Structure 1
Amino acid sequence: MLRTKHNLTDDFDLMQDRVSMLKQSDPEFQRLSKVYAELDHRVRGLEMRDIPTSDEYFVGLKTQRVHLKDVLYQRLKEWDEIGS
């Protein structure tokens, strides 16, 4: 398994300023960011500790994380379009 940490500032390296700003100024972005971080923590915990779990559960967590990352990315893009 990859065991790669997927935090937003690393994954959206070129948008770090926007991520930080939205975490501070947009309550919904902040809430979604926290959920994303919790999902990443759970996935990494399973990977790092080799905790037995069903493939279905593990893939489900990773799918949720990817979906949430897409939602967060869309919010970042919307902010960029509005802010420009």
Structure 2
Amino acid sequence: MLRTKHNLTDDFGLVQDRVSMLKQNDQEFQRLSKVYAELDHKVRGLEMRNVPTSDENFVGLKTQRVHIKDVLFKRLKEWGETGN
């Protein structure tokens, strides 16, 4: 397993100012950011501790994480294009 961090600060570093702004001003972005961080914590915990889990569960968590990340990225992109 890769054990790579997938936090928003690392993955969206080039637009960190947008991430910070949206976390402060967009409740849905803030909520999704928290959910994303929780999922990333769970996935990394399973990877780092080699906790036994089914492939279905592990893939499910990773799929949820990437879906939320896609939604967050779309919101970041929209804000960058429109400025709001």
Q: Give identity over the alignment, percent.
A: 83
What amino acid maps onto 1:43 in structure 2?
Answer: V
Tell whether 2:39 aligns with 1:39. yes
Q: Which residue of 2 aligns with 1:8?
A: 8
- Unmatched tracts of structure 1, length 5 or more: none
Deviation above 4 Å: which 4+ runs of structure 1? Answer: none
For residue 4 of structure 1, report the CA deviation from its aligned partner: 1.0
CA distance in 2, matches of 1:26, 1:83: 13
**RMSD of the TM alignment (CA)?**
1.0
Aligned length: 84
| CA deviation string 1:14-44 (max 9, x = no partner) | 1100001100111110000000000000000
CA distance in 1, matches of 2:41, 2:9: 15
TM-score, structure 1 as length reference: 0.97
SS of the residue 2:51 aligns to: coil
Q: Which residue of 2 aligns with 1:66?
A: 66
Q: Which residue of 2 aligns with 1:18?
A: 18
TM-score, structure 2 as length reference: 0.97
For residue 73 of structure 1, report the CA deviation from its aligned partner: 0.2
For residue 5 of structure 1, report the CA deviation from its aligned partner: 1.2
For residue 9 of structure 1, report the CA deviation from its aligned partner: 1.2
- Unmatched tracts of structure 2, length 5 or more: none
What amino acid maps onto 1:54 in structure 2?
Answer: S
What amino acid maps onto 1:82 in structure 2?
Answer: T
